[in-house]
C-alpha cells in the first residue's frame, strides 16, 4: 500500500526545495495577485536569511537580499484579478500584466533558477500549483502543488514543454520588455536533454501541459494522449472550488465521457455552509452516477478547497495525479498549465 499524498505548508515546501542555494532568477505566474503579500510572505522563501519581526527592518533585509538579482524576479499576472491588499509592495520586482485575447491568464507556476555555492551546479526549481499569489492561496485554502527540479545539462521530460510555455508567455507580454529572468531560465532549459519516453519501470514521468495558445489541444485530449490507457475505467476524484453556473458541466462531461471512470466523485463547493452550484447541476451529477463529497475541516477552519486531483486506485493503490490550475468551469481560451 502506498503512502498518502504528503501535506505541507507551500512556502516551507518551496524553501526546503531551494535548500539554502543562491537564487539567480525567478519567474512567477498567477491569476490573482496580491503584490504586498507576495513580497512579505512568499519572497522570503527565496533567501537563506533570518528575517526580523519588525516590518520595516524586514523590508530593508529583503531589499538587501534582492540587490544581487538586479531585477531578475518577475511576476506575470492577470490584471483583472489584482488584489490591492494593504498597498505596501515596494521591492524590485517586475510586475507584468498579461491580457489574453479571450479568457483569463490562469497558470500558477514558479520557475526559480538556483546555484549551489559549493559545487557551482545550477538547477531550475519548478512549482506547478493551484494556488494564486495571495494570502488565501498560500495560507488559507486547501491547494495542491508539484515541485520538480531540472539540473543544468541533465535530462527531463518536462523541459521542452516548459520552454514552449515560457516562449508563449514572452509573446503574450510582447508589449513589455522581456525580463532578464525569463532569458536566464530559458538558457538553462536549452542545455537539458529531453526524455522521450512517457514512463520508465511502470512509473510515469512528470509532464507539463498547457493550453491557451493557438492550436493547443484540449486538456482532456492531452491527458488521453499521455495516460489514457491508465485513466480509462479508473476512479475519478475532482476537487475544485468552482463549477459552471449551469444545469450541467461540459468539462466534467468531457472527462466522464472520455475516461468512463468506474466510480467518480465531485467536491461540493460551499461557502458559509451554502452549496455553490445549481440544484439542476447537483441532480445532473447524481443522475450520471456520480457522488458529491465534502471535505472535513476543524470546526474553526474557514478554508476553501482549491485543489484538483485525479486518482486511480489499483491493487497497489497507484495514483495518477494532476497538480493544476484549471477549475471545472468552461473558459476554453484561458491560458493554463498543469
CB proximity list for 196: less than 8 A, separation 6 or greater: none
Supply the pLDDT for residue 271. Answer: 82
Query: How many other CB atoms are there within 10 angstroms of residue 43's CB atom?
Result: 21
Give pTM, 2 decimals: 0.86
**Percent with pLDDT over 70 in the chain:** 85
Q: Which three cell numbers stand for residue 152?
A: 543544468
Q: What residues does each domain of the chain span?
A: 10-199, 213-338
Low-confidence ranges of the chain (pLDDT < 70): 1-5, 86-87, 297-338
- Residue pLDDT, tens place only, 144-188: 999 999 999 999 999 999 999 999 999 999 888 889 999 999 999
The Cα–Cα gap between 66 and 141 comes to 28
- Residue pLDDT, tens place only, 110-140: 999 999 999 999 999 999 999 999 999 999 8
Supply the pLDDT for residue 71. Answer: 85
CATH superfamily membership of 10-199: Endonuclease Chain A (3.30.870.10)
- Residue pLDDT, tens place only, 226-247: 999 999 999 999 988 888 899 9
Amino acid at each position: 500500500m502506498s503512502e498518502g499524498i504528503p501535506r505541507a505548508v507551500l512556502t516551507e515546501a518551496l524553501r526546503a526545495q531551494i535548500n539554502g542555494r543562491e537564487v539567480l532568477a525567478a519567474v512567477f505566474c498567477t491569476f490573482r495577485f496580491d503584490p504586498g503579500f507576495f513580497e512579505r510572505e512568499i519572497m522570503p522563501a527565496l533567501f537563506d536569511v533570518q528575517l526580523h519581526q519588525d516590518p520595516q527592518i524586514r523590508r530593508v533585509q529583503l531589499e538587501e537580499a534582492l540587490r544581487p538579482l538586479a531585477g531578475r524576479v518577475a511576476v506575470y499576472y492577470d490584471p483583472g484579478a489584482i488584489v490591492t491588499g494593504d498597498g505596501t509592495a515596494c521591492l524590485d520586482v517586475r510586475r507584468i500584466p498579461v491580457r489574453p485575447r479571450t479568457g483569463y491568464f490562469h497558470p500558477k507556476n514558479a520557475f526559480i533558477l538556483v546555484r549551489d555555492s559549493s559545487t557551482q551546479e545550477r538547477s531550475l526549481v519548478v512549482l506547478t500549483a493551484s494556488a494564486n499569489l495571495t494570502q488565501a492561496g498560500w495560507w488559507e485554502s486547501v491547494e495542491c502543488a508539484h515541485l520538480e527540479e531540472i539540473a543544468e545539462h541533465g535530462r527531463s521530460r518536462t523541459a521542452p514543454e516548459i520552454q514552449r510555455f515560457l516562449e508563449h508567455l514572452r509573446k503574450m507580454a510582447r508589449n513589455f520588455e522581456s525580463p532578464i529572468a525569463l532569458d536566464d531560465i530559458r538558457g538553462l532549459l536549452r542545455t537539458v536533454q529531453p526524455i522521450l519516453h512517457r514512463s520508465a519501470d511502470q512509473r510515469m514521468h512528470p509532464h507539463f501541459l498547457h493550453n491557451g495558445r493557438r492550436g493547443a489541444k484540449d486538456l482532456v485530449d492531452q491527458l488521453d494522449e499521455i495516460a489514457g490507457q491508465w485513466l480509462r475505467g479508473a476512479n475519478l476524484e475532482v476537487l475544485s472550488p468552482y463549477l459552471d453556473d449551469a444545469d450541467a458541466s461540459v468539462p466534467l462531461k468531457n472527462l466522464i465521457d472520455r475516461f468512463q471512470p468506474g466510480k467518480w466523485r465531485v467536491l461540493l463547493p460551499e461557502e458559509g455552509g451554502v452549496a455553490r452550484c445549481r440544484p439542476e447541476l447537483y441532480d445532473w451529477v447524481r443522475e450520471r452516477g456520480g457522488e458529491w463529497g465534502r471535505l472535513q475541516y476543524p470546526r474553526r477552519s474557514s478554508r476553501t478547497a482549491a485543489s484538483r486531483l485525479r486518482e486511480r486506485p489499483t491493487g497497489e493503490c497507484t495514483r495518477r495525479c494532476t497538480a493544476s490550475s484549471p477549475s471545472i468551469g468552461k473558459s476554453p481560451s484561458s491560458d493554463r498549465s498543469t
